[in-house]
Amino acid sequence: MPGTNDIEKLLHCFFDAGLIGMVLSTPRKEIAQFNDTFCGIVGYSRAELATMTWKDLTHVDDLQASTAQFDRLMAGEIEGFSQDKRYIRKDGNIVDVRISSKCTRKADGTVDYFITFVEDISERKQAEEMLLRYEQIVNASTDHLSFIDSNYHYLAVNQRFLDVFGKRREEVIGHSFADVLGKERFEKFSKPRLDRCLAGELIRFESLFDYAGEGRRWVEVQYLPYRREDGTVAGVIITVHDITDLKNTAEELKKHRQHLQELVAERTAELESAQQELLRNERLSVLGQLTATVGHELRNPLSAILPAVYLLKMHMQSDDKRVTSALERIERNTGRCDKIIAELLDFTRMTDFALQPLSFDAWLAEVLDEQTVPEGLTVRRELNLAGAVVRIDPDRLRRAVINVYDNACQAMAREDNPNGITPAPCLTVSTRSINNRIEIRIRDNGNGIPADVLPRIFEPLYSTKSFGMGLGLPTVKQIMTQHGGDIEIDSNGGHGTCVTLWLPLDLTEKGPGS
């Protein structure tokens, strides 16, 4: 056993060892004894501390709690306490400390001294704060994050993880992957990947995931090996990131890009066709001007032939059939020349297209009235538009109707009927409003158009007639397309032909019967 002196010596050793700040203070809060470690914690010299009290050192916000404990000690309610508090150092910085106090009492029970251990816990406090910060950052993430050890047990998860799976933290932490998310899912799906990750591989994959309350979402999952300092893998950090919006956006983008490409292709095609049309129109325009000039110039000499022939006829007074036939031939062929010019001018006429509203059936009846009906031909009219007013270029459309009408008359006038039976020639002109169209239909019961001719019928300069330039139907087609409509031919070899000239219904100003 050491003697009293030895014990005193040993206690001094304790006091000066500097393992922890030690203070002996009085009930009046004066600091009576303290070691160098305490000086170091608060940053004051021995001389300065000798004149100070606890109150001077304690952070103002911790003063009340400190005083409360002090008062309880003084009152004899407790013998000691531990408390985390803050001191203000001499340099003004705050230092976090943990104090543990006990009092020694006199025989009457009043406090004699306070013995206090002061531990600097700044580093621990900082670390705790840092941890809290990280925890908040991790919890703020909309990804769900988790950390499992090499035995597939959860060591940490963020708030989002708990929200997504609808679990409390204690239901997850320390439990296995299989317990938390299901055995089957673990065995079949997750374990093989986790094992690869635990072997050191970074795993990334996309997957469909059913979120509670949010439905099925696309997620990107990442398994990141968690390595100790020595490089061995001690666990897996799992991040699950919702990429549904991204995927949808990418899909949308892809669709838009495709659509854009289609649009570009479409526009390019349109432009090309427009350019070709322009070139064609330019060529036709030059050709048209040329034709118009030549045509009109030719009409002048032609017009001089007719009065000359007339004079001849008057003065020859010949009964010689050869002479009269010759004169008639001159007249007839002058007429043919004029027809050729008319056909040419019709086809090449590009301008002067002007629409005007006309009562359609009445207009068509007038056009038909002007036409001569060949002998033996019946013309039937079935005009069913009942007063509809349609915007047309009457002069151009008249040309189209007459052209088709003449063709029909000629088809029925031919004598080479292949069937050997000639039905009574009958031509039916009808109008109707059907399928967003205004239609004029001209039907004959002539020979029909041979199958080999039909495909070429709209080719300019293609003709099966002795006198014709082959511009008739191309001109009709041109006139109809100028109106936004078209021509359709339905011909059954040997059983007549039906030609439909149609106009778009939106040219109608006043509907049928209204």
CA–CA dist 33, 87 (Å, integer): 18
Q: How far is CA 214 from CA 134, 211, 246, 378, 472, in A?
A: 27, 5, 16, 78, 70
Ramachandran angles phi, psi of 316, nearest 5°: -75, -40
Q: What are the residues whose beta carbons fall under 8 Å from the beta carbon of 471, sequence distance 6 or more?
A: 343, 344, 346, 347, 460, 461
Shortest spacing between CB 308 and other proteins, in angstroms? 5
- Considering the complex, state which of residue 115 and residue 298 has its C-beta at the smaller distance from other proteins: 298
- In angstroms, the Cα distances linking 411 to 9, 152, 349, 389, 426 are 144, 94, 27, 32, 11
Shortest Cβ 344–other proteins spacing (Å) = 12
User: What would the two tokens of residue 345 be?
Assistant: 């001018």
User: In whole angstroms, how close is the CB of 291 to other proteins at the nearest point?
Assistant: 13
Tell me how far, at minimum, the Cβ of 493 lies from other proteins, in Å: 37
Give 234 or 306: the residue with its C-beta nearer to other proteins: 306
**Cβ-contact 242, 143 below 8 angstroms:** yes
Beta-strand runs (E) in 243-388: 356-359, 378-383
The residues that touch other proteins, with contacts defined as CB under 8 A, are 295-308, 310-311, 314, 334, 338, 345, 349, 352
Paired tokens of 141: 């993430």
Give the shortest CB-288-to-other proteins separation in angstroms: 12
Q: Closer to other proteins at the Cβ: 176 or 334?
A: 334
Which residue number, 334 or 463, has a Cβ lying nearer to other proteins?
334
Q: Which helix (H) or strand (E) segment is 81 a member of?
A: strand 80-88
Q: Of the two residues 72 and 296, which places its CB atom closer to other proteins in the complex? A: 296
- In contact, 218 and 208? CB cutoff 8 Å: yes
What angle (nearest 5°) sits at the alpha carbon of residue 300, between those of residues 296 and 305?
A: 140
Report the distance separating Cα 513 and Cα 422, nearest Å: 39
Specify which residues 87 forms β-bridges with: 58, 95
Smaller CB distance to other proteins: residue 205 or 310?
Answer: 310
Closest CB to other proteins among residues 298, 413: 298
Query: How far separated are the first and last CA of the chain, in Å rounded?
Result: 133
Q: Which of 259, 336 has the CB closer to other proteins? A: 336
Smallest distance, Å, CB 446 to other proteins?
Answer: 30
Residue matched to tokens 């950052």: 137
Complex with other proteins: residue 255 or 296, whichever CB lies closer: 296
User: What Å distances lie between residue 12 and 7, 16, 114, 140, 143, CA to CA?
Assistant: 9, 6, 17, 52, 58
Least Å from the CB of residue 495 to other proteins: 37
Task: Give, as one character, the DSSP assignment of residue 300.
Answer: H
Assign 3-state DSSP to the chain and report helix, strand, coil percentages, each to 5. Answer: 50, 25, 25
- Name, in order, each residue with C-beta under 8 angstroms of 69's C-beta and a sequence gap of 6 or more: 78, 81, 83, 101
Q: How far is the CB of 392 from other proteins (least distance, A)?
A: 16
CB count within 10 Å of CB 365 equals 14
Report the nearest approach of other proteins to the CB of residue 294 (Å): 11
Closest CB 337 distance from other proteins, rounded Å: 8
C-beta closer to other proteins: residue 25 or 478: 478
C-beta of 303 vs 492, nearer to other proteins: 303
CB of 297 to other proteins, least distance (A): 8
Q: How far is the CB of 480 from other proteins (least distance, A)?
A: 20
**Cβ proximity to other proteins, 173 vs 306, nearer residue:** 306
Question: How far is 66 from 423, CA to CA, in rounded Å?
Answer: 128
* Residue in 188, 189, 184, 183 with CA at minimum distance from that of residue 238: 189
